Amino acid sequence: MHRDETFRRALPLVPARTALLVVDMQRAFVEAGQALEVPAARNVVPRIQELLAIFREKGLPVVFTEFTYSPAAPLLVGELHPEHRPAVPGAPTGFGFPSSSCLLGEDNLRVVSELAPRADELVVSKHYYDGFNGTVLDGALRARGVTTLAVTGTMTDICVLATVIGGFNREYRLVVVEDAVATLWPEIQRATLDIIRRAYARVLSAKELADELAGW
């Protein structure tokens, strides 16, 4: 049983204290042909663009995360996902092979140009799935008086979910924008959004979020 009404009452959207969080919409995940390509992530770019325009027009905070791998910090994620490790000259690249995906210093690390952060917008470099783990994200949001996060990005079941849980554990009120998050398979998208709406956050469409922000 969903608790939509309970969540709506407990997690009211307070526009003046709401930030937009764009999770890992990097070239390494969005662009065709990348070793860790998420094709559906390209489909949500227009919805994220719409929300960026709304938040920027209203002067509300916008924050981006970028997953970053460095051989100087050979964390477990590099063993589980070898694509992040440096490509070996002359060796095969692609899914399952070292491909310099999100590797520190590589161009594919950056947010796609269609969603490019502005100079005054925070870009959080993270080394884990959770955007709060070991980063300045929590402190930066609290310094701006943010209590609610509208979450977008990729992948819904990995970095988005981990960041939502990280925010929930820090008492943030969360909204996940269902048509502005993406992962590899529709059934996993549905299942993850079901988990989120039952335990962690409100799940709204981009239009529903825009409507709630419209009066501010």
Q: Which residues participate in catalysis according to the annotation?
A: 24, 126, 159
| CA distances for 124 relative to 65, 75, 208, angstroms | 5, 18, 27
Question: Can you tell me the distance from the alpha carbon of 132 to that of 11, in angstroms, rounded to the nearest whole number?
Answer: 20
Order of strands across the sheet that contains 173-182:
122-126, 62-67, 18-23, 148-154, 173-182, 202-204
Structure tokens at 84: 């992040």
Q: Which residue, among 125, 117, 175, 120, has the nearest Cα to 146 in the 3D structure?
A: 175
Q: Measured on CA atoms in the order 52, 125, 156, 107, is the torsion positive or negative? A: positive
| 26 DSSP β-pair partners | 111
> Residue 83: which H helix or E strand, with range?
none
- CA separation for the pair 115, 97 (Å, rounded): 28
Task: Tell me if residue 161 falls in helix, strand or coil.
Answer: helix
